[in-house]
Chains A and B, each alone.
Chain A
Amino acid sequence: MADRKALVVDDEFHIVQVVAIKLKNNGFEVLTTDNGASAYTLAAQHKPDIIITDYQMPVLTGLELIEKLRSDQQTAAIPVIMLTARGFAIEDQQKQKLNIAACLSKPFSPREVLQTVEEVLKQTVHA
């Protein structure tokens, strides 16, 4: 049984799948969903150690999801990594305000995702 749990959220099935496989192959238990609203429900229910979310998604966008997570005491502390295909980076101010651990641009490397996840979790443990 994996001792680390990750939630992967993206409306692109193939993206969710590839990130999930990479994490599973490296010892994570992975939950997946394709929209922000169900991601929040899953996060509240399962309390994952980390969330990897897309920026642009139906129902709730990535930023709206994080805002919702931060406003709930149960989910406020979960570190979040954001994947975005948008041509612009998320402003530092917003990143700080929402406590976004890292932003990765699409196209991304699954290796890089895994490495970032490990680093963020390490920082979280030490914090």
Chain B
Amino acid sequence: MKRVLGLCLLGLALSCAGCIAAATIALPGPILLACGILGLIAAGGLTYSLIHLAVDVHAMTKTLRSEHPILDSVRCSALKPLTAALQECLDKTNKPLLEARREIQDLGLQLQLLRRRKSGIEAILNSIHDAVLVCDDQDRLILANPAAEKLLGFESEKAALKPLKDNLSDNSLADLIIRARSSKVRHVRHELSLNRSGSAAWYDCLLSTVLDDSGQVISVVAVLHDITREKEISQAKNDFVSHVSHELKTPLASINAYAEMLVDGEAQDEAAIRQFCEIIQGQAQRLNRLIEDILNISRIESGLMKVNRQNLSLALIIRDAVEMIQSYAQEKNITLTAPAPILCDQVYADRDMMMQVVVNLLSNAVKYTPAGGSVSVQFEMNDVDGTITVSVTDTGIGIPEQDMDKLFGKFFRVEANKNFAKGTGLGLNLVRQIVETVHNGRVFVRSKQGQGSTFGFVLPIASSKTALIA
């Protein structure tokens, strides 16, 4: 036992010496790092030895106490300073080791946290529908999300750390980023037009500069939000206001001018006075019709239109509409024909609205058909799919192919036909709104320029039956 203790003490002394040497000699650079590692290993070994030694000393002390109670106090008092020295040495070596272990644990946790945050930020960036890209202080791309890659047509990995202008086909964005970096303005907003899949798209481009502690720009963050739809809506609104104002001002101009002429006594005789009054009345009615059309379209679009649905006969509505338009057709020497209503096929619809649909289609057909032509109405019932089709065919001037899909748009007028007849471009839009939006039907058109057109609509047959009419 004494020999073991002696060896232990020797080992301990050597370990302590090594440890103190490692702890006190300061060496530069990599040597210091190597020494540190060696020191840690030495400290580890030393701790291991010290723990074992302490256990052994404790056991020996216990044995001595029990085997030689007389010598016990003498021996114990001799060992006390050694035990204390050992404990002190143990505490000194354990402390840095524990601290190092704690630091390693902390670093591991921080690394884990950083990884989690990085993947979280990547997931957020990738989920953003807006294009996000970041450039460094030399205008080189350092980050871009998939939306930016798709919009600007590059791959982040290939484009990284290359000048932005090398990666973009359009320099406008790169110029804005460069300008933002030079100006050091914290945030700046621009509207930018970029080519997206061959068509121009509008973006709200928000540029933010990132500054370091000394106020130098270290990066520029660009976020591009697609505002094409908003632009289109805004443009459509402006166009609508412009069209409405033009359409309203035209009859109003006549009313105003002829009224002033009457006041100024510019009408030379009774006939002229009467003519001026009739013009004022006619233009006031035109103005009223126009306002009604605009309001009806607006009411239908906003769902505020009062719809009085009932089972009614389209055949009878066609008959009444033909009667209404007949005099206009005769004035223009146009033959207007419609099949006699034998079967009264029912649709569940608003009578006034359906009347307006048929009248609009008939008056359009007569309006765009030269004198001597013809307009006919066809009426077809399809029992298989439970629909009724009404079509109005004319021998008129027809419609150019490129305008076919715009015909039912608000205020659209065929440029080539403007000279042929006047119109507001609201009639067919109202037809579509009534048939499709209000009655879940479908409008259609077939036309060949110079050969005539067929406009029509399809509605579902009402659930109740067809009835014979007189």
Contacts and interface: CB of A to CB of B under 8 A. Distances in A.
A18 interface: yes
A15 B254 contact: yes
Contact of B261 (A15, A21, A88): A21
Nearest to B254: A14
B261 A86 contact: no
Interface residues of B, number: 23
Given A56-B246, A107-B249, A87 B241 contact: yes
A22 to B, nearest CB: 6
A18 B261 contact: yes
A108 B258 CA distance: 10
Contacts of A108: 253, 256-257
B253 A85 contact: yes
B266 A14 contact: no
Given A107-B256, A110-B266, A85 B261 contact: no
B42 interface: no
Nearest to A19: B257
Interface in B239-269: 241-242, 245-246, 249-250, 252-258, 260-261, 264, 266, 268
A14 B246 contact: no
Interface string A1-45: 000000000011011001101100100000000010000000000
B241 A107 contact: no
A11 to B, nearest CB: 8
Contact of A87 (B246, B261, B268, B279): B246
A90 to B, nearest CB: 14
Contact of B253 (A25, A58, A88, A106): A106
B197 interface: no
Interface string B163-195: 000000000000000000000000000000000
B317 to A, nearest CB: 32
Contacts of A14: 254, 257-258, 279, 283
Interface residues of A, number: 23
A106 B250 contact: yes
A63 B214 CA distance: 58
A81 to B, nearest CB: 15
A109 interface: yes
A18 B254 contact: yes
Given A14-B279, A21-B266, A87 B245 contact: yes
A25 B253 CA distance: 20
Nearest to B244: A87
B419 interface: yes
B418 interface: yes
A111 B261 CA distance: 8
A59 interface: yes
Contacts of A107: 249, 252-253, 255-257
B390 to A, nearest CB: 31
Contacts of B418: 58
Contacts of B264: 110-111
Given A22-B261, A25-B266, A58-B418, A85 B256 contact: no
Nearest to A37: B419
Contacts of B242: 86-88
29 contacts: A11-B422, A12-B250, A12-B253, A14-B254, A15-B250, A15-B257, A18-B254, A19-B257, A22-B266, A35-B419, A58-B418, A85-B245, A85-B249, A85-B250, A85-B253, A86-B245, A87-B242, A87-B246, A88-B242, A106-B252, A107-B249, A107-B253, A108-B253, A108-B256, A109-B256, A109-B260, A110-B260, A110-B261, A110-B266
Interface of A: 11-12, 14-15, 18-19, 21-22, 25, 35, 56, 58-59, 85-88, 106-111
Given A14-B254, A87-B241, A106-B249, 7 more contacts: A14-B258, A18-B261, A21-B261, A35-B419, A106-B252, A107-B256, A110-B257
